[in-house]
Amino acid sequence: MSGVHDHHGSAEMTRRVDALVARLAHRGLVTDAAIAETIESFLTHAKPSNGFRIVARAWSDDAFRARLLDDANAAVAELGIDLSHWAPVTLRVVENTADVHNMIVCTLCSCYPIALLGPSPAWYKSAEYRARAVSEPRAVLAEFGVELPERTRIRVWDSTSEMRYLVLPRRPAGSDGLDEQRLATLVTRNGLIGTALV
């Protein structure tokens, strides 16, 4: 991906957020310090290792995996991961299999499970990725070095402000004897987006 970013759109959003914060502060509803503390707390806990732990647990605990696929919000809460920092969102975990490969995109903006993956990469926000992931996902995956058999179906999941997705990659061959901590080291952020194999 070229990594093109819409600077005009980002500048406009920054202006609007700054105006909203100024209004709230003027009315005494928030302070700059409280906002900074909230953001710092969120970013401290928002990291890819959260997603890595989730996958490692799912790979090593079939009951957890079933709960994760059924109700991801409840399952990740079992691990002490809070998804409600900014707004309530529903998390859906989609599982890669021998027949289906999943990939995440947000065609409207860049909705992304930050709490589980950390800040989104620039390419994820780019208009090019957002358009091409839907229209030609196999070509996009090839650019990331992911070559799938023709028989493998690719499902693209479009995130929204209310719904976030996380890919549960296939467990690597030869990893049967590894504990959760070691399994977590095999997982990558791109694997959880679906633009890499694990």
Distance CA 61, CA 142 (A): 31
Report the alpha-carbon angle 149-151-157, nearest 5.
Answer: 90
User: Whole-prediction pTM value?
Assistant: 0.79
* Residue 70: per-residue pLDDT: 98
Residues with catalytic annotation? 106, 109-111
Give the model confidence (pLDDT) of 74-113 as tens digits.
999 999 887 766 567 899 999 999 999 999 999 888 787 8
CA distance readout (Å), 111 to 90, 139, 141, 165: 12, 22, 20, 9
> What pLDDT, on the 0 to 100 scale, is given for residue 8?
46
pLDDT digits (tens, 9 = 90+) for 117-175: 877 888 999 999 999 999 999 999 999 999 999 999 999 999 988 899 999 999 999 99
Walk me through the domains of the chain, giving residue ranges and CATH numbers. Answer: 46-193 (3.90.330.10)
pLDDT at 115 over 80: no
